[in-house]
Amino acid sequence: MLLAVGLMAGLGSTGCKNDPPTDLSDRLWVNEMPTGPRDRVDALVLTEVGKRAAGSFYHGSVYRGAHDSFIWKTTGKDRGTIELLQDQRSYEIQTKPCKPDAGFDMCIKLEGDPTKVVRYQSRKRWAIPRRGKGADALDIPALMLTLADEDEALEALFERAWED
């Protein structure tokens, strides 16, 4: 809930529509697949919130983590600027496709990523189910739980969490 309040305050209600890049938006991206609920993962989500492209970097496990919300502004083909809302710092980003590891369908490199992760992977079935519904789409642990209904590996991750 705090993420939603903070993000909406940072977005404001003015500004022109700036669609997020289609190859990156509206899906969950991770640096690697966690094998247990305590495994740390770096994740990324980018979607439309209000009339802006907004996202969140996440670092943590199923049980604990931290996020850093941002605004995306497209500056050219495969290029954009990420403004981290907490720090009010901007970073130039270039997206490039890469070869995914086994078990993933997509891979993208974010050159200039302020988290220094650079390489994120996703699966076709990891699309965000509620595009444009607001900042709740940026709650990465809740999104992983929602996507677990359609993904055996994520489902197994949460089953292990409930068994602990």
Concatenated DSSP letters of 18-45: -PPPTTTSSBEEESS--SSTT--EEEEE
Give the pLDDT confidence of 5-36 residue by residue, as tens digits. 344 444 443 344 466 778 888 999 999 999 88
To the question of pTM greater than 0.85 for the whole model, the response is: no
∠ CA 81-141-75 to the nearest 5 degrees? 10
Give the pLDDT confidence of 49-67 residue by residue, as tens digits. 777 888 999 999 988 999 9
The boundaries of the domain holding residue 39 are 2-163
If one counts the domains in the chain, the total is: 1
